[in-house]
Amino acid sequence: MRKKQNVILEKIKVEDYAAEGKSLARVEGKVVFIEKVVPGDVVDVKLFKNKKDWAEGYPIRFHEYSSERVEPFCAHFGVCGGCQWQMLPYERQLEYKQKQVEENLKRIGKIELPPLSPIIGAEETKYYRNKLEYTFSNREYFPDDEFNKLKTNLPNGAAVPIESTVAGFHAKGVFDKVIDIKTCFLQAEPTNGLRLAVKEFAKQNGYSFYDIKNHRGFLRTVQLRICTTGEVMANIVFGYDDEGKRKQLMDFVLKKFPSITSLLYTINSKFNDSLNDLTPIAYHGKGYVIEKMEDFQFKIGPTSFFQTNTRQGEQLYRVAREFADLRGHETVYDLYCGTGSIGIFLSKKAKRIVGVEMIDAAVKDARENAALNNLSNVAEFYAGDVIDICNGEFFLQHGKPDVIVTDPPRAGMHGDLAKKIVDIAAPIVVYVSCNPATQARDLNLLTDKYQVTKIQPVDMFPHTHHIENVVQLKLK
């Protein structure tokens, strides 16, 4: 296969899954990674990357569909990038995720491994998210075929209208356009009803929808948090403040959706959607919700981090607690502790929890959650870089850890932290990861002193390629 621009490969049979939601085929000895296909599909592929030994592309025509495929249940599948694997039976999704974990640990980690435990799948594969955020926009995203139909039906020379009023998700790879979502299956009601009602009310009352490209407009986003406790929080974000319009909308939402226990609003005039440096204002209710995992309660505000799938988060934390092998006398260090949820979950079987987290606001939430569960004398949380905090003086004050739990972001642990863990030499390390590739890299850094003794994948996000994995390490 020659390396050149605009290469189209015809009638390529997809052979296997290749991680990160892609599948692969082999053409003249070159591995071709392909989006939006599954093993067994026969497709024409247009390449957008073409290197010496590998290439990447996307299907432009399907000649045969794999016998593994099932009918996606969402009308937005293939356009919205949220649930990439709806065309696969859930059992096959789990098989591919298990394989992804195993291959990453072997290929990247290059260390001796015990057998993987079978992946823990989700009982609920729809309506499993407790948090979603929708965007209101004046620019609608149309797939190429719909866009071409629009052009065909317009008079000669007429341009496709740009202005619109939509509510949904950002189109993948297109920052300034939004997919108009009719029904989303990721979160239970009132999520769809509220989004559509706010959209219709705003249209009828002449509210401007946010222009992401030019940074202007009134109605910007809405964030919903729906808890297993029955509490519901909605935070409506406006591009600027207009008290009359704002109050009119907030009162409408309260009347239309009495199940909302906390209704907030936020004024965001920035160029990005992050709320971390803004102050949401409670319009109705206490301004937060209470979620439960087992017997533990967690206070969640509009900017708090919490596991997005409560039921599977509970499963994940149970695995972490089991892997910690606690007997009741241990001091546990919870690194990257966030709002303290893992440490609090482990506190049932530990003597002491010491949490360390970079983000001050998360540490404040962790302390509040400890107090909420009457654990202030058991669990303590500190803000700062673990590299700086975990020194001799800190150990003298809090004790050296018997168990270290680390739950880093997708980028994995900093190399200096891996060295620090090796220096601390706690008897057990429990590594919780949302990215088995970076987890495998980090495990390799720990291999001089530690041996991997248990591995447990957990599926937190059905119909996506994302996967969580928990590893137990013990001193050699």
Residues forming beta bridges with residue 380, ordered by sequence position? 354
Helices (H), ranges, 133-220 = 144-153, 191-204
Distance, CA of 236 to CA of 239 (rounded, Å): 10
Q: What's 347's DSSP letter? A: G
Concerning whether 434 is annotated as a catalytic residue, the answer is yes
Q: Which tokens belong to 249?
A: 């909308």
User: Cα–Cα–Cα angle for 289, 278, 212, nearest 5°?
Assistant: 105
Catalytic residue among 83, 184, 390, 434: 434
Residues forming beta bridges with residue 370, ordered by sequence position? none
Report how far Cα 122 is from the mean position of its chain's Cα atoms.
15
Distance, CA of 453 to CA of 451 (rounded, Å): 6
Phi, psi of 245 (to 5 degrees): -65, -45
Q: Per-residue DSSP letters for 156-181?
A: TTPPPP-EEEEEEEEPTT-TT-EEE-
Distance, CA of 25 to CA of 8 (rounded, Å): 14
Q: Which tokens belong to 79?
A: 């356009």
Distance, CA of 323 to CA of 317 (rounded, Å): 10
Q: Is the peptide bond before 190 cis (omega within 30 degrees of 0)?
A: yes
Q: Say if residues 326 and 292 touch (Cβ distance below 8 Å).
A: no
**What are the counts of helices (DSSP H) followed by strands (DSSP E) for the chain?**
11, 22
Distance, CA of 361 to CA of 383 (rounded, Å): 9
Q: Is the alpha carbon torsion for 30, 33, 38, 44 positive or negative?
A: negative
Residues forming beta bridges with residue 139, ordered by sequence position? 163
Q: Which tokens belong to 472?
A: 């137990």
What distance, in Å, lies between the first and last C-alpha atoms of the chain? Answer: 48
SS3 445: helix
Helices (H), ranges, 304-391 = 310-324, 341-346, 360-372, 386-389
Burial 218-255 (b: 16+ CB within 10 A, else e): bbbbbbbbbbeeebbbbbbbbbeeeeebbeebbeebee
Q: Say if residues 341 and 314 touch (Cβ distance below 8 Å).
A: no
Distance, CA of 43 to CA of 217 (rounded, Å): 43
Q: Which tokens belong to 324?
A: 């910690």
Report, as residue numbers or ranges, the catalytic residues.
434
